[in-house]
Every structure is written in structure tokens, then in C-alpha cells.
């Protein structure tokens, strides 16, 4: 979890980063994977997608993404995000300038973010490999030469 204080905007932002799932091929599928872990549509929640190469990150609010998961797509429609950052940004306004109120707000916002987002997030893990089907007995036409010798069907060289 990262906590960022923006003095110019008078905001407090709390964020958490996650690697995008490697088994999902489209931006829509990757965004939906993350949205399923976010139970509430809080207007303070934003999602930032990080793109491969030099692509600049794109940010959209969660409510918009629930309606259209592709709204976060960058200029390259073939690109898929490799990481996500979930942010809770709260504007403190006049409360930002008071020492006591500022500390109280930070102490309120961080646990609120963790309850809303952090407890539900799970890092993506690759699915386990699928088992290989093993036959217990070979088909009669598939017996190898050594197997036939062992069975006595072919005389061994002496």
C-alpha cells in the first residue's frame, strides 16, 4: 500500500498495485478480473492501467469501468495492461490545512481503503498445469519389440 499526499490539490491518495493476469488475453478480461475483487462502487475509487513499453498509464473511475471495461484502453487497441493500480483519492479541501484534522483524516482514509480494497485483492497466480492423460494398458497394436521379446512372442538372440 502506498499513501501519497498532494499538497497542491489538497488530496490524500492510497493505492495498491497488482500484476495483471497472464492467462487473460484482452484488456476487457483483465479489467473484469480486477473488478470482480472490488465489491463496492465508491466514487473515490480509481483504476490505473500500466501498459507495456512506453505507453502512458491510463486512469478511469470504477463506476465507468463497470459499465464499459474497455474505457481504460490506451491508444494502441492491441495492447493489454501488464499491471493495475487501485487508488482511493479523497479531496480534503479546507481540512487539509489543519494539523489535527489532517492526521485524523489520514488515519481514517487508510483503514477505509484497506477495508474497501485491500482485504479483497488477491495476486494473480498461473493456473496449475493440466494432468497428462496416461493409459494404463497399451493397445495391442502398440506393443514395442522389447515388450514382445519379454512376452516370449519373439525368440531372443542367444
Q: Tell me the average pLDDT across 111-129.
A: 74
Confidence check: pLDDT of 145 > 70: no
Q: What's the whole-model pTM score? A: 0.67
CA dihedral 53, 58, 63, 65 (to 10 degrees): -40
Do 67 and 77 form a contact (C-beta atoms < 8 A)?
no
Which cell numbers in the block locate residue 36? 470482480
First-to-last alpha carbon distance for the chain, in angstroms, is 75
Confidence check: pLDDT of 146 > 70: no
Which cell numbers in the block locate residue 111? 483503514
User: What pLDDT band is residue 152 in, cutting at 50, 70 and 90?
Assistant: low
What's the pLDDT score for residue 125? 63
pLDDT in tens, 1-28: 888 888 888 888 898 888 888 777 888 8
What whole-number distance in Å separates Cα of residue 83 and Cα of residue 32? 13
Say what percent of the chain tops pLDDT 90: 1
Q: List the chain domain ranges.
A: 2-120
Buried/exposed 62-94: b ≥16 CB within 10 Å, e otherwise: beebeeebebbbbeeeeebbeebbbbbbbebee
pLDDT in tens, 122-133: 666 666 778 877
Of 19, 30, 125, the closest CA to residue 80 belongs to 30
What whole-number distance in Å separates Cα of residue 36 and Cα of residue 154? 63
What's the pLDDT score for residue 149? 55
Q: Where are the beta strands (DSSP E) in the chain?
A: 2-6, 11-19, 45-50, 58-61, 83-91
* Helix, strand, coil shares, percent, the chain, to 5: 35, 20, 45
pLDDT in tens, 34-74: 888 887 777 888 899 898 888 789 888 888 888 888 888 88
Amino acid at each position: 500500500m502506498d499513501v501519497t499526499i498532494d499538497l497542491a490539490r489538497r488530496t490524500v491518495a492510497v493505492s495498491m498495485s497488482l500484476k495483471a493476469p497472464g492467462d487473460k488475453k484482452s484488456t476487457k478480461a483483465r479489467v473484469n478480473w480486477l473488478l470482480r475483487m472490488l465489491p463496492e462502487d465508491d466514487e473515490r475509487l480509481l483504476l490505473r492501467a500500466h501498459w507495456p513499453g512506453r505507453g502512458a498509464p491510463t486512469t478511469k473511475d470504477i463506476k465507468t469501468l463497470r459499465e464499459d471495461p474497455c474505457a481504460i484502453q490506451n491508444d494502441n487497441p492491441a495492447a493489454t495492461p501488464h499491471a493495475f493500480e487501485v487508488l482511493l483519492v479523497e479531496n480534503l479541501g479546507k481540512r487539509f490545512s489543519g494539523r489535527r484534522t489532517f492526521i485524523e483524516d489520514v488515519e481514517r482514509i487508510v483503514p477505509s481503503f484497506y477495508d474497501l480494497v485491500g482485504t479483497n485483492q488477491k495476486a494473480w497466480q498461473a493456473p496449475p498445469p493440466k494432468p497428462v492423460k496416461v493409459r494404463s494398458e497399451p493397445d495391442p497394436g502398440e506393443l514395442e519389440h522389447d515388450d514382445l521379446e519379454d512376452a516370449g512372442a519373439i525368440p531372443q538372440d542367444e
